[in-house]
Structure 1
Amino acid sequence: MTAETGTTAEGAPTARYDRRATAQILSRLARPGLFGTSLPRQVRCFEYTATELRPEPDSHLTVSQRLYLEQFMRPCRADEVTSATHRMTWTDSAGIPNTGFYRADGLGPLVPIATRESVLLLWEELAAEEGLAERIAGLGPGARAVLAATTTDHEPIDIFRVGIESAGRALAQHALLAGRTPYRTASEFARGLRDSGIFTAVATRWFWELQASTYRRGMIPVTLRVTDAGAIRYSARTIATLRAMKDATITDAHRIMRRATTEEGLSVPEAIAHYHDDLDLISRQYALLPTGERPSCPATASYRSGGVNYSLLPLVVQRFVEAFTDFTSRCEAVAAPAHADGPSDGPVAAEDRVFYVPDMTCKHCVRTIGGVLESMAIPVADIDLDSKRVVAEFRSPRNRVRAFEALRDGGYNPMSERPDPPGTRPAR
């Protein structure tokens, strides 16, 4: 391990920010085996409800997409962004409501469903790999200190879960561009992304918040080109734009850290904690990145062991594409029948004032959700990030439904019942 370690006054180990050491730790944990054996899957039919996105006049973007573009995607232009045509909602095999996006001229609603099922399957296989759990339990305090100093999620199992989810986002989001590729089925498209190196391009060229937030809004700032060999690549303009957006984010992070540690007199840990909670768009990895150093994704770093080079990302991508390909052959997406009777304008029951947002993960999400409700003149009594619980004063059941639709436009998945914590549901 290359990180410099020491101890605090209380004797706890410390470590400096070190992405290479982080990559080695994660690779050592994963290489003997990352995925265990899961239960066989049956053919499943998933009902979904689709809503056509309504772009602004004289634009191909919705209000939510345009606002995010203008506020957080400089210097990206609107003509560099592709939008979904439809937003869909469905309940996955774990009983969790989901929101996804697709284009009517693309691969359709099956891709978001199969993507989500593949994520759930790989999470289950992570939990089933007993050797992985033993290796994680055996991590020493020095290695844990490196992870704590370098990564947003400190527990290795959470880091692996987030990486799997990011791979799923990359596939579903790039499916908005499937009609511009040579691939005509969902399985061909997934294999094409893998073989063309698109998953690696996302990990190395995008920054985390850009992928998560544009995915939630059904948009992608990418243009593809097809090579003579039939592979797909990012256009030169896309590469330049993604780099410029990442550089702008790094600059913002460094500016905030300089102000916090000089003008405000905060220590580095205090500054990270304060601004991670308050802004969250400023990620830890960019705030701590040394000036002049290019950011790197630990999953893409090459680690040499036993005379061979090893990288974590290809392992995750290969298993994810296998699972996705299998699910597209076993799953069917069926549009749910329309209901003739809509919600009423009568009073709201006391229990209907409360709802949950499973993908509310940070203070930025809290502010966004609160802002959406308040913009609809819906008073917010409480938003609790830890429990994902929201209490709001809806005027009527119809008002509640419209508020849920507005939240889904922003990429969130409101649900009436509290979701089970990850890993608490029985295996399927």
Structure 2
Amino acid sequence: MGTVSTQPYDRRAASRVLAGLAAPGLFADTEPQAPTRIAVRATPLRPEPGSALTQSQRMYLERFMRPCRPEQVTSATHRLTWTDSAGIPNTGYYHTEGAGPELAVLARETVLTLWRALAGSGVPERSAALSERDRAVLAATTTDHEPPEIFRVGVEAAGRALTQHGLIAGDTPYRDIVEFARGMRDSGIFAAVATRWFWELQASTYRRGMIPVRLVTQPDGSVRYSPDSIALLRAMKDATLADAEAVMHRATTEEGMDVAAAVARYHDDLDLISRQYALLPTGTRPACLAATPQTVDGKAVHVLATVVDHFVTTFAALAPTVRVVEDATVLDPGEGQGDDGVFYVPDMSCQHCVRTITALLTSMDIPVLGIDLAAKRVEARIRSPRNRFRVFEALRDGGYNPVDQAGAQAPGAAVG
């Protein structure tokens, strides 16, 4: 009887697998979206006295963003809640001197459109035909193992990056959100996020409505990160990588664990940089798998550029069709007072989030019955309104924004 080889962690190989799947085409054509009216609720954030940050933002910064200082962070002024055209509750942030609430809503509609385009592109069929070796590479290296999910998360990450940088749109010369999106693309800001940030820093600061960079306009009208921002991002990445390396070194040398056991034992310690970055060889700097250009059958393939180009093009095409109106009477954010075990976590974006939320509820002795990542839906055996309130508070402490099922309004209505 033959033995099954174990494929090692290999980011370069995983990048090549994804490029091969993307080479024939990542997105199919989609039908134009009908005019849609989406109502949003904007709630002012409450910074601590004498500070521009909320308590949650300050606590996260002090614990996880060293050596970042409070004055290096821009906070949103408002939190948004709304239900998108697919009927899924969402949360987001905006700054009154930034791009405005329309950016987050339109970015979400762009994500939904590209998810449909991805489903019809042939990627699911090509993914199903992957060799066992290629599947093993992804299983050993990526957080989301199924390629369609990896690409879906990538699309959502593009929307997240655009929306988060909208907090500092006032740094730029761009006059509206479409010009802003194009400017971000043409200036290489999406690529900067993929290479200079690390995943959990971008995701966690986004969920908290904060961004630790500034943009500087260049003579040609493009924008770049300020030199201080570049230095800060590097310092935060280096500090986090050093922490992960220290944990893994202690576990594998002093405690004699193998890598798998070390990751399982110290999951919470490694959570902020994720299992994938903890497994990087010492001295290796992490970057998004999609950011590395590949050659497939003699053809240059750049997954990140493909996703970003389609995102911005689709964003611009949807802009005239989506009307955003503020309405303080709709979409209560939810206070954890529902009478069943179903709720939504709108800023849950990948399997890392799923595992984090599952682990949190399990630690509270609350069984998780199911999580639908695409619908942002969680079902758990909560048993009482008091426990539900506790769950919501714990999720908020983790940077998520849970929403009661009862708080969801009807999907965005077509405009007559």
Taking structure 1 as the reference length, the TM-score comes to 0.84
- Give the deviation of 1:383 after TM superposition: 5.5
Q: Deviations over 1:106-132 (max 9, x none)?
A: 2211111111111111111111113x2
Q: Which has the higher contact order (CA 8 A, sep 6+)?
A: 2
Residue type of the alignment partner of 1:389: E
Equivalent residue for 2:109? Answer: 117
- Give the deviation of 1:270 after TM superposition: 2.4
**CA distance 1:296–1:193, change in 2 (3 Å):** same
Equivalent residue for 1:376? Answer: none
**CA distance 1:14–1:114, change in 2 (3 Å):** same
Equivalent residue for 2:20? Answer: 28
Secondary structure at 1:210's aligned position in 2?
A: helix
Contact 1:60 1:83 in 2 (8 A): yes
Of 98, 107, 113, which residue of structure 1 is paired with 2:99?
Answer: 107
Equivalent residue for 1:221? Answer: 212
Secondary structure at 2:126's aligned position in 1?
A: helix
Equivalent residue for 2:43? Answer: 51
Is 2:318 aligned against 1:317?
no
| Deviation larger for 38-47 or 214-223 | 38-47
Equivalent residue for 2:133? Answer: 142
| Deviation larger for 117-126 or 204-213 | 117-126
Secondary structure at 2:295's aligned position in 1?
A: strand
Secondary structure at 1:270's aligned position in 2?
A: helix
**CA distance 1:273–1:153, change in 2 (3 Å):** farther
| Deviation larger for 16-25 or 183-192 | 16-25
- Give the deviation of 1:359 after TM superposition: 4.5
Equivalent residue for 1:71? Answer: 63
Residue type of the alignment partner of 1:86: H
Q: Deviations over 1:396-417 (max 9, x none)?
A: 9xx9699689949944232327
1:20-419 alignment, distance < 5 Å: 20-130=12-122, 132-276=123-267, 279-338=270-329, 351-352=339-340, 355-357=343-345, 359=347, 361-362=353-354, 364-365=356-357, 382=366, 384=368, 386-387=370-371, 388-390=378-380, 391=382, 393-394=384-385, 407=396, 410-416=399-405
| In 1: Cα distance, 2:398 partner to 2:324 partner | 21
Contact 1:36 1:126 in 2 (8 A): yes
| In 2: Cα distance, 1:32 partner to 1:17 partner | 26
Secondary structure at 2:28's aligned position in 1?
A: coil
**CA distance 1:184–1:200, change in 2 (3 Å):** same
Contact 2:80 2:92 in 1 (8 A): yes
Contact 2:343 2:405 in 1 (8 A): yes
| Deviation larger for 404-413 or 212-221 | 404-413
**CA distance 1:353–1:308, change in 2 (3 Å):** closer
**CA distance 1:111–1:234, change in 2 (3 Å):** same
Secondary structure at 1:61's aligned position in 2?
A: coil
Equivalent residue for 1:377? Answer: none
**CA distance 1:381–1:392, change in 2 (3 Å):** farther
Secondary structure at 1:25's aligned position in 2?
A: helix
Q: Deviations over 1:32-61 (max 9, x none)?
A: 111113232011000111100010000000
| In 1: Cα distance, 2:369 partner to 2:248 partner | 25
Contact 1:97 1:413 in 2 (8 A): no
- Give the deviation of 1:69 after TM superposition: 0.5
Contact 2:84 2:108 in 1 (8 A): yes
**CA distance 1:306–1:250, change in 2 (3 Å):** same
- Give the deviation of 1:13 after TM superposition: 3.4
- Give the deviation of 1:362 after TM superposition: 4.3
Secondary structure at 1:333's aligned position in 2?
A: strand
**Identity of paired residues, percent?**
53
| In 2: Cα distance, 1:184 partner to 1:401 partner | 43
Equivalent residue for 1:425? Answer: none
Secondary structure at 1:15's aligned position in 2?
A: coil
Greater radius of gyration (CA): 1
Residue type of the alignment partner of 2:314: A
Name stretches of at least 5 consecutive residues in structure 2 with no aligned partner: 372-377, 409-416
Name stretches of at least 5 consecutive residues in structure 1 with no aligned partner: 1-8, 372-379, 420-428
| In 1: Cα distance, 2:395 partner to 2:141 partner | 35
**CA distance 1:382–1:359, change in 2 (3 Å):** farther
* CA RMSD across the alignment: 3.2
Residue type of the alignment partner of 2:252: T
Q: Deviations over 1:89-144 (max 9, x none)?
A: 000111111111011122211111111111111111111113x2222111101111
Contact 1:174 1:220 in 2 (8 A): yes
**CA distance 1:265–1:211, change in 2 (3 Å):** same
- Give the deviation of 1:152 after TM superposition: 1.4
Contact 1:216 1:411 in 2 (8 A): yes
| Deviation larger for 175-184 or 271-280 | 271-280
Q: Deviations over 1:227-286 (max 9, x none)?
A: 111110001111111011111111111111122223333221222234346752231222
**CA distance 1:280–1:386, change in 2 (3 Å):** farther
Contact 1:261 1:271 in 2 (8 A): yes
Secondary structure at 1:67's aligned position in 2?
A: helix
**CA distance 1:111–1:73, change in 2 (3 Å):** same
